[in-house]
Amino acid sequence: MIDVIVAGGGPTGVMLASELRLHGVHVLVLEKEAEPTRIVRSLGLHVRSIEVMDQRGLLERFLAHGQQYPLGDYPHNFAGIDKPWPDRLDTAHPYILGIPQPITVRLLTERATELSAEIRRGCELVGLSQDDHGVTAELADGTRLRAHYLVGCDGGRSTVRKLLGVGFPGESSRVETLLGEMEVAAPPETVAEVVAEVRKTEKRFGLAPFGEGVYRVVVPAEGVAENRTVPPTLEEFRQQLRMVAGTDFGVHSPRWLSRFGDATRLAERYRVGRVLLAGDAAHVHPPMGGQGLNLGIQDAFNLGWKLAAEVNGWAPEGLLASYHTERHPVATDVLSNTRAQMELVSTEPGPQSVRRLVSELMDFEEVNRYLVEKITAIGVRYDFGEGHDLLGRRMRDVGLKQGRLYGLMHGGRGLLLDQTGRLSVTGWADRIDHAVGGSEELDVPAVLLRPDGHVAWAGDDQADLRGQLARWFGAPSTDRRGRPGNVAEFDIS
């Protein structure tokens, strides 16, 4: 029997597969498309996703294929409102990483394959059933597969979600946008001049050069297509460009063409028995702020270690359920801010008045920082109850006397960063590493980090620590002679 079947080989699915494989879970990824898509819906990674890649030792390969855009060098855009980034953002990675979605998927797929995840392309899931012992997945070719768990990472039109009967309340698309890559005959200076003029009022419009006369073209559609799975034609692009910009720029030779809407929907539940949802299968929203791919990767980062703990038999009660209780509110917040941004890019007088007011408010440092932390996801704080201000927050990378914090987290285990030298994780050494030493950037005696980098405990009391170890990492293990297991310890002093 397979441990976990992941339906969907996009960024969320292959990220989840890698997280599961770090813990020895037998995982099979089923992707219905025979070949990777060339469509570039996402253009980059925000700060929190960059941190995630660093925590797993993947950042260098992403940096080799992407372009760093330092936060101070260009304005950020909440609803297309250009404002400077706030000073001293709480991260060791103060930049956006420009990297097309197909490359992100390729790099994550390569990583999953390196970790021995099995990935089958051209395999479409069409049915599923579950009982107390596992899930049966039925494929289009009649094959039946059995697994302990199944995760639907199969996009906004998720077959898994529909088969589960999970409600997907929200709003259908009210507006639609055409997106594609194509060659442009007009001179670059003409394109830049027209784009600058049109974007004074229409923020859903743009032509971005890729080199050698190829541009990424975004233009509002005339209406909402009845069947949005059918890509637009080049003639539709020409008509809409002439309508919005007064010229079609001589577009020709498209590489790919697509359309997207502003539908906003959120799954009522992220789990039904042994089947879970992640990424776009759990939430869809307008692409404002570039949060979609990042949100899915962070879903996988939250879920992976919890599902692995369940499969491996050490998960404490409620750990897997915490995936929904932690990530559902995060998605709710993203849906809310993207709805707001869509209103603010409307050309109607009312929304334009609100836009001017929001622009004025963003001149206040606190407001600007608040919105930036939303978009980059570094402001996410899970509700772990009362305690230290760090509790529930992700820990930024901090310098240690021998290296950096994220360098100790590549294996996906929990970590006790102990500046007292008096604490112990004896009994949990198979799940948690113990780093003894100091950091000038950390003003708390010790912190317990979950595998996803969020602070589960902070303090210096051993009894209190043991309670939190049991809460997040289950009962202590024993060695063959019935004694607590040996501690895996780093000396970073």
342 and 250 housed in the same domain? no
23 and 91 housed in the same domain? yes
121 and 233 housed in the same domain? no
77 and 125 housed in the same domain? yes
Q: How far apart are CA 398 and CA 442, in angstroms?
A: 7
Q: How far apart are CA 152 and CA 155, in angstroms?
A: 8
450 and 307 housed in the same domain? no
Structural domain contains residue 72:
yes
Structural domain contains residue 60:
yes
pTM of the predicted structure, to 2 decimals: 0.92
What pLDDT is stored for residue 40 in this prediction? 80
For residue 410, give the CATH number of its domain: 3.40.30.120
Residue 237 tokens read as 């692009």
What pLDDT is stored for residue 491 in this prediction? 54
The domain in which residue 238 lies consists of 176-261
Structural domain contains residue 288:
yes
Structural domain contains residue 387:
no
Q: How far apart are CA 101 and CA 39, in angstroms?
A: 8
Q: Look at the chain and report how many structural domains it folds into.
A: 3
279 and 316 housed in the same domain? yes
122 and 245 housed in the same domain? no
218 and 358 housed in the same domain? no
Give whole-number Cα distances, 349 to 80, 202, 243, 352, 355, in Å. 17, 13, 20, 5, 10
Query: Where does residue 311 rank: exposed (0-12), middle (13-18), buried (19+ CB within 10 A)?
Result: buried
Residue ending a domain, among 195, 227, 261, is 261
Residue 31 tokens read as 């992707």
Residue ending a domain, among 242, 261, 280, is 261
Only one residue has tokens 């956006």, namely 96
CB contact set of 106 (below 8 Å; sequence gap of 6+): 36
CB contact set of 105 (below 8 Å; sequence gap of 6+): 9, 10, 11, 14, 36
306 and 372 housed in the same domain? yes
Residue ending a domain, among 235, 261, 287, is 261
Structural domain contains residue 383:
no
For residue 256, give the CATH number of its domain: 3.30.70.2450
144 and 284 housed in the same domain? yes
Q: How far apart are CA 300 and CA 281, in angstroms?
A: 12
What pLDDT is stored for residue 229 in this prediction? 77
Structural domain contains residue 218:
yes
What pLDDT is stored for residue 438 in this prediction? 83
234 and 142 housed in the same domain? no
Residue 125 tokens read as 């899931």
44 and 164 housed in the same domain? yes
| pLDDT mean values, one per 10 residues, the chain (493 residues) | 97 98 98 87 90 98 93 77 88 93 96 97 96 96 97 96 97 92 95 94 90 92 82 94 96 93 94 98 91 95 98 97 98 95 90 94 94 94 94 95 91 96 94 91 95 97 96 81 43 51
Give whole-number Cα distances, 415 to 143, 235, 451, 460, in Å. 41, 56, 7, 15
